[in-house]
A and B are shown apart, each in its own frame.
Chain A
Amino acid sequence: MWTRKAAFTFTGGIALILIGMMISNNQMMILGLALIAFIVVNSWISGHGDVEVQRTLSADNLYKGDDLYVELLITNRSNRKTQLLEVYDNIPHEMKLRSGLNQMRLNLSPGESARIRYVLRCPLRGHYSIGPVSLRSRNTFNLGVEEMFVDHHSDIVIFPQIKEVEEAFLRSRTPKMYTGATTLRTPGQGSEFYSLREYVPGDPFKNINWKAYARTGELMVNEKCRDAVTDLYLLIDSRDIARIGTVLKNPLEMSTVSAASLAAFFLKRRDSVALGIYGEKLSYLPPDTGDKQYFKILSALAGVSAKGEMPLQAVTNSLSGRFSRGSPVFVISSCEGDGTVPAAVRDLVGRGHEVTVLSPSSIDFERLVSRIPRMSYEVLKLERQNRLTTLAGSGAQVIDWMPDMDLSQALMQVRGY
């Protein structure tokens, strides 16, 4: 395809020839002919050689906020030069270039290769695809241009960030044995004996093994095997309302971060974790343990988007039959725009589940993007407090999670639950 320069040169050439003919001026005609000849000679070379593109990523999965190293290898597989070739690697607009550049102008000889290296920052979770690679070839004098692309994609999953959760914040009040629970070969609170160890200040006196003390003369305490909490259920609200706030700070983002962090924490303790995401539809990942489950949970959380209007009651109605008896349930929801939340929570508590409602404060997220009059804010805040109080009255542990509050800090509100 001709460039603007070629079009102007051609038009200028024709115009000069015609004017030269009109006024019988040789210089104009010859200049015009030279311009046309310039275009004709340059048109002999067009396109580019056969180019092969190969992309290598530093990882297939990353956590939100991490850096991704990308290397693009371009090789000229043909027996001709590529001409002036602009290579542009299309990256998702959510990712930001941190170092290097995702484009290069090159001119490769036959068999020659060039490497483009760049680093991307991934500030948003999700499933992304890098590519295709756009190619634009020009001749040296920029008279002809051809655009095409190599359909080469590299998929990458950006998981939500994992925040550190301290053991103390998520300790069960009383060790319980639930259906299907197994003792874990790790020390902790439980009922079965694990081992003897020396007394350290702070150990409860009831754990002192007096017989061992009588035998050895040193204070020894009994350590118990930790009982697995077995199944932990995480229910995440991904309704349309969860998008309130900025792209990086909204209830859904905080929900995914908290769900990922809790899942990581419990799975590390070898508990089973189940995940239910409701919004436009309900997707449910049955409880399981191990790294595979961890990966499944993170993948599911990476793909969550705010859509739909599904009420919590519908979720609990369909899932409560699958929940193990007495197992803890985490409901991560702003509790806005869903009148069924109290009933659903009451229902779960009634079935013997220990329910914790982790509620990102959507009013405060809304304040990040729009100005809410002080009076309206106070009223809305009061309404929210009433809603949360109702939930607490239903027997659930309720955490009011403010946007600037760290997850550990938020969990402290139910310390020792």
Chain B
Amino acid sequence: MAEDVQVQSDVTITGSAKARTLHLKTLRKQWQIITLQIIATAALIGMYLEVVSTYVVGTIDHTILFSSIESLIGDDLPLGDWFTGEGRTGLSRFFVPLAIGLIVGGLMALVAYQTPKTQQRLKLGFIITLITLLVGRLILGWLTGMIFSFDIRLPDDGELQTLEWPLLMIMSLLIMFVYLLPIIMGSRGIWGLSKKSIAWAIGFTLLFLGIHAILTFPLIKSQLGDYGGALATLESQISQPTIGLFGVKLVTSEQFGLILIAVLILVFQESAFGVIKYLEYAFRLPESCKRDPEYVKQMDNMLNTHLMHTFGFLGLTGVATMVALGFHSVLLSLVSDTTGSQWAGQVSESIELSLTYGLVISAVMFLSFMALFRYLIPWQRIWGFTYSLRNNTSSAVEKPEKEFIEFQT
């Protein structure tokens, strides 16, 4: 018995083989981790573009704000149109800012990996640049003016006007930062492994949706006058469903957009937090475990499962939400087909249904049925059966031994 037990080790036959380890340096380059990060980034971009195209573009986007400011000051803002997207139409206004937001987020992530000393220097450099940008020209002009005129005086109007450009520049950048906050913080969180940044990105998006929802509430919207009129509202339920599954039309295109936002938020959240969760686990492992092929193998298993479930379960979540939203029409058509009464038609046109109560009740009913399926259908057995068919393992079979032979140290 005693001779069966060996010390944990990554010693190989040659003594020089490089076994994969769970050190962060190695793990960060692993394809599953990078794939999860790419999925999270894609979900973040998708979510942002979907939110922007639904609620912001053409109503409260930054180009409209910049135009208003420019007309107010009677001059162009320092940020170029290529940067802000002014002059473009629709969603294309956001393409360049989006790319810049991703780059800024990526740079912030890169800074997060530097040593505290380097980080401090970079931050100091940024602050000094900002101060120089803000008051550099003023001080230079004012001081040289005083030196040449041999006079001590306050800055004149011409010199104070040099403050205008930097102030407008900083204001423009701040506005862009607010618009791009989810993208900047999200990309920083994904690639810089910061839970706080990811929470900021999700929180800011939800906050925006919440504020927008409150402002578009008819009672409040009417109080906002012209400003309220500019806010985009969705009449998603009243139009006819156009998107569905297997020939059954379930949701309107507006509803589909909203479902997409919800699912993309979930994909972003689960992928981004998932990466951090697995890396944290690997980081906390003792050195001997990081080198142990068993731990490496199980980390692979966990990451592969996470990837599969990200597609499988979150895709199913989207489908389930779609079906839940279209379930009332399925029920009504069922009643109409089976009883032949006009009651179903009357109900489908009723104000209660269009005002959400019926819709929500039927959707929740559908989800409750789905929850009950857990007890009615042996999903785990089915999946186990399909798994065994796929892997041709009808019975539990011991897998071959490890790839490395270990020696007792």
* Interface residues in chain A, defined as those with a beta carbon under 8 Å from any beta carbon in chain B: 17, 19-21, 23-31, 33-38, 40-47, 49, 56-59, 69-71, 75-81, 83-84, 99-101, 104-119, 139-142
Q: Taking the nearest CB of chain A, how far is it from the CB of B7, in angstroms? A: 7
With a cutoff of 8 Å between Cβ atoms, the chain B residues found around residue A27 in the complex are 209, 212-213, 234, 258, 261
The CB with the most chain A CB atoms within 10 A, among B218, B317, B367, B383, is that of B317
With a cutoff of 8 Å between Cβ atoms, the chain A residues found around residue B394 in the complex are 79
With a cutoff of 8 Å between Cβ atoms, the chain A residues found around residue B165 in the complex are none
Measured in the bound complex, the distance between the Cα atoms of B286 and A77 in whole Å is 29
Task: Please pick, from A33, A37, A44, A116, the residue contacting B374 in the complex, using a CB distance under 8 A.
Answer: A44
In the complex with contacts A25-B216, A26-B236, A81-B305, A104-B4 CB distance below 8 A: no
On whether the beta carbons of A79 and B213 are closer than 8 Å, the reply is no
Closest to B359 in A: A29
Q: Is there a chain A Cβ closer than 8 Å to B398's Cβ?
A: yes
In the complex with contacts A38-B317, A99-B288, A80-B364 CB distance below 8 A: no
On whether the beta carbons of B317 and A101 are closer than 8 Å, the reply is no
15 A-B pairs, CB-CB below 8 angstroms?
A23-B217, A24-B217, A40-B370, A42-B313, A57-B2, A69-B2, A79-B384, A100-B286, A100-B288, A101-B286, A104-B294, A105-B298, A106-B301, A114-B297, A119-B8
Measured in the bound complex, the distance between the Cα atoms of B258 and A184 in whole Å is 95
Measured in the bound complex, the distance between the Cα atoms of B251 and A34 in whole Å is 14
- Chain B window 206-232, contacts with chain A (Cβ cutoff 8 Å), 1 for yes, 0 for no: 000110111011100000000000000
On whether the beta carbons of A140 and B262 are closer than 8 Å, the reply is no
With a cutoff of 8 Å between Cβ atoms, the chain B residues found around residue A25 in the complex are 213, 216-217
Interface residues of B in 325-358 (CB under 8 A from A): 325, 355-357
Measured in the bound complex, the distance between the Cα atoms of B293 and A104 in whole Å is 12
On whether the beta carbons of B313 and A110 are closer than 8 Å, the reply is no
Closest to B293 in A: A115
Task: Please pick, from B266, B285, B298, B393, the residue contacting A101 in the complex, using a CB distance under 8 A.
Answer: B285
On whether the beta carbons of B5 and A71 are closer than 8 Å, the reply is yes
In the complex with contacts A21-B356, A33-B321, A140-B309, A105-B302 CB distance below 8 A: yes
In the complex with contacts A101-B286, A104-B298, A105-B302, A79-B259 CB distance below 8 A: no
Measured in the bound complex, the distance between the Cα atoms of B302 and A106 in whole Å is 7
Q: Is there a chain A Cβ closer than 8 Å to B385's Cβ?
A: yes
On whether the beta carbons of B289 and A101 are closer than 8 Å, the reply is yes
Closest to B3 in A: A58
On whether the beta carbons of A41 and B294 are closer than 8 Å, the reply is no
Measured in the bound complex, the distance between the Cα atoms of B185 and A76 in whole Å is 41
On whether the beta carbons of B388 and A79 are closer than 8 Å, the reply is yes
On whether the beta carbons of B320 and A30 are closer than 8 Å, the reply is no
